[in-house]
A and B are shown apart, each in its own frame.
Chain A
Amino acid sequence: MDIVAQHLLNGLMQGTMYGLVAMGFTLFFGVMDVIKFSHGDVLTFGAFAALVAALLAQSGGMGVWVQILAMFAAAVVATALIGTEIARFFVLPLRHSPTLNILLLTMMLGTVIRECLRLFYPNGGNPQRFPALLPAGGINFGRAFVRYDGLILLAVGLALIALVHWVITRTRFGLAVRAVAEDEETARMMGMNFRRVVRLTFALGSATAGVAGVMYGLYYSEINYGMGVLLAIIGFSAAIVGGLGNLWGAIIGGYLFAGLQTLAVALAPAATEYKTFFAFLVVIVVITWRPTGLLAEARSERV
């Protein structure tokens, strides 16, 4: 029983992280119909910004909670800035070019970010220890041991998902995002500042990834320059499996992917190396079965 609870918590944690990344993909796709593949490396950038902020706050002799706050603030600001500038200088000018070009462009931008971290961050080629700031220890639920930091991070992640959902569905800005996603031309005719909406959406989506990056660092107490690559692909898969452009789809996709990985580990503890293999296999099967994702818009075109 306790092992099930452990797997469940671990899966929830990973699913929340994947869901946060996938939400970014789905937001960008919603407003611009593009995939911004540098998303994972933006996440890494956020984690490194948080690390620097924490180290600075530490050397300034600030308290633990100030350090944590500085971390999240640095990650959010850094990723929002870089996300909105990528939208401004790279994605907006190229938005009418072929899908392949934008995909490749953003992949290469991601490579630039990743290589810059590797080459120019001191000792950036090696994994960096992330300060363990959250309270250590934990509580026993029955026989399952639950770490406090895990619980706190899970709560932060869920709160963030709820926040983004609230922003998109309940605020004026969210209305603008949904309007642009629905029909860009009409939205512009109604007097919406399209470029501004796009840039703010990119800031929001990237900041979400930044928080996910800090969560990753705090949970695994280690970050490295390449950690965003797999996270981006998993987040992309989650967004696709859920149905691009659908916020709930992204969240469900994230938990589904984490669930599959966890299931593979739980069912075959001897072959944990294959968990990602198994999860991607199921992803391919799912999109073959539902070529537009699980929660796709029911539009059909006869060919």
Chain B
Amino acid sequence: MSSPVKAPVWPVLAGVILCSGMLGAIVAVEDQRLIVAMLLGFAAIWFAARRWGAVAALERSAEQHPGAVGGAILVAALAGIALLHEDNFGFLMISTVLLFASCCIGLTIQLGYAGVSNFGAAGFVGAGAYTAAVLNWLPWMPDLLALIGGGVAAVLVGSLLLLPVLRTRGHYAALTTLAFGIMFGVFLDATPIVGGPQGLKLSGVNLFGWDFSNDIRLGSFLISFYANYVLLSLAIFGVAIFVASRLDRSWVGIWLDTVRLDETACAVFGVNIGFWKILAFTAGNFLAGLAGATYAKMLGFIAPNNFTLSDSLMLVSVVILGGIGNRWGALPATAILVLLPEKLQFIQEYRLLIFAVLVVIILMASPAGLVPRRTRRLDPHLIIGNVGWLTRLVPHARSVPSPQRGEG
């Protein structure tokens, strides 16, 4: 199926150039007043673009030219690395943004697509990070396995919560993951074998002999070793976007929507609610764990207070701030969250306050977020393998008492 009007490719290119230019400028500039002026300018550009349909045009174009999006982002990233070449801190921030955004895309699959609430996301990120740290004790363990192991560990931890998540709804389901997040923090703090409150140290990534801790030399041109992590984070972000867009644009996305919007109607049409909830929950946790493991490897040090309740809330806020159900929204929202307090030192102390006020304003004034979700361009031929038989693994949901009256 193709839509009647073929969108041109130039909005993608213009959009990527503009966005990466803004990101790079924020990272590179140090003068506080200039940063504030730039931010105001970017906000104006953003609202103008939204007002006059440029964002919508960009999204339309992006959805029809996925290859162009990927290529343009890769070129922009390489150009950015070449320009910022020795800015360690800048690279660190960009990687952090990309990893946080990947994790938020996982949350988007859970909250935005399937409507499975997850208020313990930091716990899953932490499960990935601590797995990477523990696997670091085994000298023969290849780092690729350690990173994937982080994702798998988050999935395994999440599978312990499957039964409560499937049986409860609404606020009751929110409590399950909330309680898990608290339990995870208490456990880390109280268990000396994983370092207790002091946390654990890790070594950097080494993929197939490519040591991420070495600076890159191209002739006499020196690039900080953090650029390796930018590329790795970009790859993970790419995987996250790819998975989310495959899920969303195939029939699976429609099923997930029905599960979120009306479980009764869903069951009437024979959709296996339990299976799709498990799928979304698992996919989201895997992304969170993978991002967590990579983050831990990049920082070289993790402690329980990196994975607290307020971090979980932060991640959910990013999803809402970006626009719930819109996978691309995670990127500008995390950029605001991570970059602003780092670049504007004078708000450092007030950042949580400012962030909370910002989220309150967004929720009151424009609950759809920065990049509201648009109607998908369905691709019925897009098949993620034939997953039909998998649904038989999960029995259909039986009668579940309704937790609250009149919940829409």
Q: What is the bound-complex CA distance between A230 and B367, given in angstroms?
A: 28
B187 contacts across to A, CB distance below 8 A: 274, 277
Contact indicator B359/A302 (Cβ below 8 Å): no
Contact between A284 and B360, CB atoms less than 8 A apart: no
Contact with A along B99-133 (1 / 0, CB 8 A): 00000000000010000010000000000000000
B328 at the interface (CB under 8 A from A): no
Contact B399 A287 (CB under 8 A): no
The one of A100, A101, A115, A292 that contacts B403, using a Cβ cutoff of 8 Å: A292
Cβ-defined contact, A303 with B400, below 8 A: yes
Contact B164 A103 (CB under 8 A): no
Measured in the bound complex, the distance between the Cα atoms of B317 and A108 in whole Å is: 9
Asked if A287 contacts B164 (CB within 8 A), the reply is yes
Residues in B with CB closer than 8 Å to A94 are 363-364, 367
Complex CA gap A76/B186 in Å reads 32
Q: Is B357 an interface residue (CB 8 A)?
A: yes
Query: Which of B170, B180, B364, B405 contacts A284, CB < 8 Å?
Result: B180
Q: For this complex, into which size category does the number of interface residues on chain B fall?
A: 35 or more
CB distance from B181 to the nearest CB of A (A): 9
CB distance B172 to A108 under 8 Å? no
Q: Which of B84-92, B275-283, B347-355 lines the interface with chain A?
A: B347-355
Q: Is A273 an interface residue (CB 8 A)?
A: yes
Q: Which of B263, B320, B357 contacts A303 (CB 8 A)?
A: B263
**Within 8 Å CB of B400, what residues of A?**
291, 300-301, 303
Q: Chain B residues near A291: list those with CB within 8 A.
A: 167-169, 172, 400-401, 403
Q: Which of B170, B189, B267, B349 contacts A119 (CB 8 A)?
A: B349
Is A237 interfacial (CB-CB < 8 Å)? yes
Q: Which of A103, A245, A288, A303 contacts B168 (CB 8 A)?
A: A288
CB 8 Å contact bits of A92-114 with B (1 = contact, 0 = none): 01100101110111011101100
- Contact digits for A153-176, partner B, Cβ 8 Å, 1 yes 0 no: 000000000000000000000000
Contact A35 B367 (CB under 8 A): no
Q: Knowing A105-B363, A116-B353, say if A303 contacts B401 (CB, 8 Å).
A: no
Asked whether, in the complex, the Cβ of B264 is within 8 Å of the Cβ of A303, the reply is yes
> Is there contact, CB below 8 Å, between A301 and B401?
yes
Whether a CB of chain B sits under 8 angstroms from the CB of A202 is: no
B397 CB–A CB distance under 8 Å: yes
- If A104-B317, A287-B175, A299-B401 touch, whether A90 touches B364 (CB-CB below 8 Å) is yes
**B182 interfacial by beta-carbon distance below 8 Å:** yes
C-alpha gap A35/B403 in the complex (Å): 13
Of the candidates A116, A283, A299, A301, the one whose C-beta lies within 8 Å of that of B175 is A283
Given contacts A119-B350, A273-B190, A283-B175, contact A104 B168 (CB under 8 A): no
CB 8 Å contact bits of A265-298 with B (1 = contact, 0 = none): 0000001011011001101100110011100111
Cβ of A33: which chain B residues have Cβ within 8 Å of it?
Answer: 404-407
Residue of B nearest to A275 (CB): B186
- Could you say which residues of chain B place their CB within 8 Å of the CB of A116? 353
A240, CB-defined interface residue at 8 Å: yes
Of B161, B171, B356, B407, which is within 8 A of A240 by CB? B171
Contact between B190 and A277 (Cβ–Cβ < 8 Å)? yes
Residues of B within 8 A of A263 (CB): none
Knowing A99-B171, A277-B186 touch, does A111 contact B402 (C-beta < 8 A)? no
Interchain CB contact under 8 A, B352 and A35: no
Which residues on B sit within 8 Å (CB–CB) of A109? 356, 360
How many whole Å from A110's CB to the nearest CB in chain B? 8
Nearest CB in chain A to that of B162: its residue: A288
Decide if A12 is an interface residue (CB 8 Å cutoff). no
**Residue B313, interface by CB 8 Å:** yes
- Chain A residues near B174: list those with CB within 8 A: 35, 99, 103
The 3 A-B residue pairs with the shortest CB-CB distance, nearest first, are A273-B190, A111-B356, A115-B353
* 5 residue pairs from A and B, CB less than 8 Å apart: A104-B320, A109-B356, A277-B190, A296-B403, A298-B401
Write the residues of chain A forming the contact surface with B, with a CB cutoff of 8 angstroms: 29, 33, 35, 90, 93-94, 97, 99-101, 103-105, 107-109, 111-112, 115-116, 119, 229-230, 233, 236-237, 240, 244-245, 271, 273-274, 276-277, 280-281, 283-284, 287-288, 291-293, 296-303
Given known contacts A90-B360, A276-B182, A299-B405, what 10 new A-B pairs fall within 8 Å (CB)? A108-B313, A237-B179, A244-B171, A245-B404, A274-B187, A280-B186, A281-B183, A301-B401, A303-B397, A303-B400
